[in-house]
């Protein structure tokens, strides 16, 4: 069974899943996409946990998740629940469990939902060695079935929540650090639930790597369908970070799946107060709800991409665009910082003394044909194929042709064998993601290897809205290897530098071009061992000038070392007031004082030769 056999690639349609009851809240089926967040306070701090829960609820959150790392914390969920009810809110609570099945047993009798992580709920590190695989599955049953029975008795829902950063050694040994391993980790638990006739279950597969997160969820959909399961999915990008980076990264991962109708509940994990996640999540949901019942895009076969593995579309190299080049950025103005677009679009507005810096310039065809501007760093943009075809003054090096997705079928036979031409593909379809994806498929099916710039047009006055919409619309195309460049055009009141930053941010979040330091930072929870927001900002202030580095900042060891596996450096809470530093996957310094930890991190980067002033 193929992904395209299950998903409507050319029309926005929600994937039909089983309806799950979480208290008075229903998830899946025909219900709206639900929004949730997670508490960052200590679970034993009853007052502040209640206060933060109320902030999430008042912001529009529909489910609140609270960590319960031990039985004592799990038992205190009763006091927290009562406090929220006494305040007049009857919202469901979810307990977050990792290493302690006994805590799950306690929590399941109190709250409406329990989340367990297959990677550490049963398996211990190295515990599988010298044991048979089937024997380990029996061990899972022994721990999971008692929890299932408690959930049945209390009508408590269960989330089987797999994190890329905490796969068990047993799964890692057989599948490696892969989407396949994540899916099998979930399926082992789901099969037991089905065997026990317990179906009040939600599943999630999360990663800080957007490509892994998307591939895993797509594969999960197919695997469940093959085994006659249809559990609802909770979506999220773990350790997304803060500010614009966290929003763009979350929108790339979550938005790519929402665009295909996947996802029944979401959380945007930001290193910010949890109530600030809610408005962002609401905007993402609203953006996709608006495209329901849009005009269907003509279906066709074959589908020339593998939705479970990354492979860049083959394209010719024209100047610095396409081939093995990183995707380029086109902007409408010059950059004011060191994120320099490769091309600046001048249109009709051009002066003879336009300075040449690190960027090239694109001008309209009618200006180009005046010939006075035929300098090495100027290139023409043709507004139609007929104008391009009839022009006697094409550039010998590089020409841009702007086309709408609706024109692809008509002009494809005429352009397939051309050289020195780059396509700029636009769309007017309300489901522009599907429209542009279909255009790429058409090019690929006739082996047209012209480079393609993905252009999207907006009219936004709020930067966050532009960031979220453009990341949803464009990021998924890059995740699937489609696109040789990005051009975001906005007619609203947003500074062009912010648009340039957004373009580079989408490329980085899509993992196709690294242009700045990336911070893999978790949102925090009751397990967090230091002030994440303050520390993240301190590290960002000291290191943001370092290019092409990834720095992980993790509150504890539950997912930290795994989620930052591809980071160059890691800063992880090891205990109250104690930090452990990593270089790549290796521990370099253990249990150092939090007071000195940032300086120690800086020194580690310097000693490793990755520091520049």
User: What is the pairing mode between strands 550-554 and 569-575?
Assistant: parallel
Stretch (H or E) spanning 20? strand 20-22
Look-up: residue for tokens 């004011």? 336
Contact predicate 538/598, CB 8 Å: yes
Average pLDDT in the 60-64 region? 97
Contact predicate 300/435, CB 8 Å: no
Contact predicate 440/423, CB 8 Å: no
Closest CA to 66 of 89, 87, 91: 91
Longest C-alpha distance within the chain, in Å? Answer: 81
313: which DSSP letter? Answer: P
Closest CA to 327 of 517, 514, 548: 514
Burial string for 39-74 (b: 16+ CB within 10 Å, else e) reads: bbbbbeebeebbebbbbbbebebbbbbbbbbbeebb
Average pLDDT in the 289-298 region? 75
For residue 365, tell me if it sits in a domain: yes
Q: Read off the pLDDT of residues 319-341 as tens digits, 9 standing for 90 and up.
A: 999 999 999 999 999 888 889 99
For residue 303, tell me if it sits in a domain: no
Average pLDDT in the 41-64 region? 96
Q: Read off the pLDDT of residues 494-508 as tens digits, 9 standing for 90 and up.
A: 999 999 999 999 999
More confident residue, 227 or 125: 227
d(CA 537, CA 376): 43
Range of the domain at 597: 518-607
Look-up: residue for tokens 């249809």? 230
Residue that is last in its domain, among 454, 481, 509: 509
pLDDT of residue 558: 62
Average pLDDT in the 480-495 region? 97
Which residues lie below 8 Å from residue 417, measured CB to CB, with a gap of 6+?
Answer: none
pTM, two decimals, is 0.92
Q: What is the percent of the chain with per-residue pLDDT over 70, rounded to a whole number?
A: 92
Q: Judge if 105 and 75 occupy the same domain.
A: yes
Contact predicate 443/436, CB 8 Å: no
**What are the CA-CA distances from residue 543 to residues 127, 183, 319, 613 (Å)?**
39, 36, 33, 10
At residue 354 the predicted structure's pLDDT band, cuts being 50, 70 and 90, is low
**What are the CA-CA distances from residue 244 to residues 3, 284, 503 (Å)?**
31, 14, 11
For residue 386, tell me if it sits in a domain: yes
Q: Judge if 407 and 266 occupy the same domain.
A: no
Q: Judge if 381 and 530 occupy the same domain.
A: no
For residue 53, tell me if it sits in a domain: yes
Residue 20 has pLDDT above 90, yes or no: yes
580: domain CATH number is: 3.30.413.10
Contact predicate 381/345, CB 8 Å: yes
For residue 69, tell me if it sits in a domain: yes
Q: Judge if 499 and 551 occupy the same domain.
A: no
φ and ψ at residue 387, rounded to 5 degrees: -65, -40
Q: Read off the pLDDT of residues 145-155 as tens digits, 9 standing for 90 and up.
A: 999 999 999 99
At residue 130 the predicted structure's pLDDT band, cuts being 50, 70 and 90, is very low
- For helices 243-258 and 277-289, angle between their N-to-C axes, nearest 10 degrees: 30
d(CA 135, CA 184): 16
Q: Judge if 584 and 489 occupy the same domain.
A: no
Q: Which long-range contacts (CB under 8 A, 24 or more apart) does 385-388 make?
A: 385/411, 385/414, 385/415, 388/421
Q: Which of 36-50, 229-243, 583-597, 598-612 has the highest mean pLDDT?
A: 36-50
**What are the CA-CA distances from residue 366 to residues 218, 345, 395 (Å)?**
46, 14, 13
Average pLDDT in the 422-431 region? 96
Residue 528 has pLDDT above 80, yes or no: no
Count the residues in the chain. 613
Residue that is last in its domain, among 509, 529, 558: 509
d(CA 327, CA 345): 16
Rounded to 5 degrees, what angle do the CA atoms 373, 376, 378 make? Answer: 50
Q: Judge if 147 and 113 occupy the same domain.
A: yes
Q: Read off the pLDDT of residues 429-471 as tens digits, 9 standing for 90 and up.
A: 999 999 999 999 999 999 999 999 999 999 999 999 999 999 9
What is the count of structural domains for the chain?
A: 3
Q: Judge if 523 and 502 occupy the same domain.
A: no
Stretch (H or E) spanning 542? helix 532-543
Average pLDDT in the 358-374 region? 80
DSSP string, 155-195: T-EEEEEEEGGG--HHHHHHH-SSHHHHHHHHHHHHHHHHH
Residue 127 has pLDDT above 60, yes or no: no
Closest CA to 421 of 392, 375, 457, 385: 385
For residue 317, tell me if it sits in a domain: no
Contact predicate 248/504, CB 8 Å: no
């Amino acid at each position: 069974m193929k992904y395209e056999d299950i998903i409507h690639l050319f029309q926005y349609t929600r994937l039909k899943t089983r309806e799950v009851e979480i208290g008075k809240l229903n998830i899946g089926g025909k219900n709206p996409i639900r929004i949730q967040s997670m508490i960052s306070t200590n679970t034993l701090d009853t007052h502040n946990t209640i206060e933060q829960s109320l902030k999430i609820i008042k912001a529009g959150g529909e489910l609140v998740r609270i960590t319960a790392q031990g039985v004592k914390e799990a038992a205190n969920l009763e006091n927290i629940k009562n406090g929220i009810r006494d305040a007049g809110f009857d919202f469901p609570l979810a307990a977050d469990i990792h290493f302690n099945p006994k805590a799950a047993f306690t929590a399941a009798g109190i709250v409406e939902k329990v989340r367990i992580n297959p990677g550490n709920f049963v398996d211990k590190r190295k515990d599988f060695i010298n044991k048979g695989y089937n024997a380990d599955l029996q061990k899972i049953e022994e721990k999971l079935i008692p929890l299932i029975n408690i959930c049945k008795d209390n009508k408590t829902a269960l989330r089987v929540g797999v994190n890329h950063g905490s796969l068990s050694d047993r799964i890692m040994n057989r599948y490696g650090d892969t989407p396949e391993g994540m899916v099998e980790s979930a399926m082992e638990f789901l099969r037991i639930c089905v065997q026990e006739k317990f179906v009040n279950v939600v599943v999630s597969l999360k990663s800080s790597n957007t490509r892994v997160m998307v591939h895993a969820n797509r594969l999960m959909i197919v695997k469940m369908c093959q085994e006659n399961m249809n559990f609802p999915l909770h979506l999220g990008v773990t350790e997304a970070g803060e500010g614009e980076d966290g929003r763009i990264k979350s929108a790339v991962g979550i938005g790519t799946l929402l665009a295909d109708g996947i996802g029944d509940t979401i959380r945007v994990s930001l290193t910010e107060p949890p109530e600030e996640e809610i408005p962002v999540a609401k905007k993402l949901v609203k953006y996709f709800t608006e495209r329901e019942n849009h005009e269907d895009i003509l279906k066709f076969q074959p589908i020339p991409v593998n939705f479970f593995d990354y492979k860049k579309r083959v394209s010719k190299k024209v100047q610095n665009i396409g081939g093995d080049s990183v995707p380029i950025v086109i902007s409408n103005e010059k950059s004011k910082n060191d994120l320099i677009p490769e091309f600046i679009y001048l249109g009709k507005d051009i002066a003879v003394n336009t300075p040449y810096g690190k960027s090239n310039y694109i001008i309209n065809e009618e200006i180009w044909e005046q010939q006075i501007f035929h300098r090495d760093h100027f290139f023409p943009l043709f507004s139609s194929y007929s104008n391009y075809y009839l022009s006697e003054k094409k550039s010998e090096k590089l020409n841009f042709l702007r086309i709408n997705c609706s024109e692809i079928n008509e002009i494809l036979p005429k352009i397939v064998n051309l050289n020195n031409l780059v396509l700029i593909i636009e769309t007017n379809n309300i489901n522009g993601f599907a429209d542009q994806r279909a255009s790429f498929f058409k090019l690929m099916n006739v082996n047209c290897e012209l480079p393609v710039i993905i252009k999207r047009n907006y009219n936004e006055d709020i930067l966050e809205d532009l960031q979220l919409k453009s990341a949803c619309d464009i990021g998924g195309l890059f995740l699937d290897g489609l696109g040789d460049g990005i051009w975001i055009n906005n007619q609203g009141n947003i500074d062009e530098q912010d648009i340039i930053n957004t373009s580079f941010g989408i490329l980085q979040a899509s993992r196709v071009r690294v242009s700045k330091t990336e911070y893999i930072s978790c949102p925090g929870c009751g397990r967090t061992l230091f002030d994440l927001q303050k520390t993240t900002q301190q590290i960002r202030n000291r290191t943001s000038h370092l290019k092409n580095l990834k720095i992980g900042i993790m509150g504890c060891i539950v997912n930290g070392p795994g989620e930052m596996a591809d980071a160059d450096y890691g800063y992880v809470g090891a205990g109250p007031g104690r930090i452990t530093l990593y270089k790549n996957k290796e521990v370099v310094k253990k249990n150092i004082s939090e007071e000195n930890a940032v300086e120690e991190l800086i020194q580690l980067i310097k000693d490793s030769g990755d520091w520049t002033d």
